[in-house]
Amino acid sequence: MTRSNRSTPTQKDWLQKTLAGVFAGLAIAFVCVGFFVWYGPGSIESGDKTQFAMWLVTPFWLVILAGVYLFPSGRRAWLVLGSITVLLYCSFFLLRSLA
């Protein structure tokens, strides 16, 4: 049997994409859970809600981390995820100051 000459292409900027997913993705997951905790159903003092929110960070983060490889470049991943992070945090703190 002959071995096929097909080789799987490895993207050059996989490290940049991974780092964008790890750092910016974690920040996005935190602020999304923060929106749920502060503005979701029930009060923030309920013990079950805070425990659920703690476990909710990981699925959000993993979805972002898995989706980061769909970006065409690492630079684009940093730009988009960084912009989303800044936009979400600005809106979160703006809403907190109004409430």
Domains of the chain by residue range: 14-98
Q: Rounded to whole angstroms, how far apart are CA atoms 71 and 41?
A: 34
- Residue among 20, 13, 91, 26 nearest 59 (CA): 26
The predicted-structure confidence for 16-26, as pLDDT tens digits, reads as follows 999 999 999 99
Task: Tell me, rounded to whole angstroms, the distance of Cα 94 from its chain centroid.
Answer: 20
Q: Yes or no: say if 31 and 86 are a contact pair by the CB < 8 Å rule.
A: no
SS3 58: helix
The pTM (predicted TM-score) of the whole model is 0.84
The predicted-structure confidence for 43-87, as pLDDT tens digits, reads as follows 777 778 888 889 999 999 999 999 999 999 999 999 999 999 999
Q: Yes or no: say if 74 and 20 are a contact pair by the CB < 8 Å rule.
A: yes
pLDDT higher than 70, residue 3: no
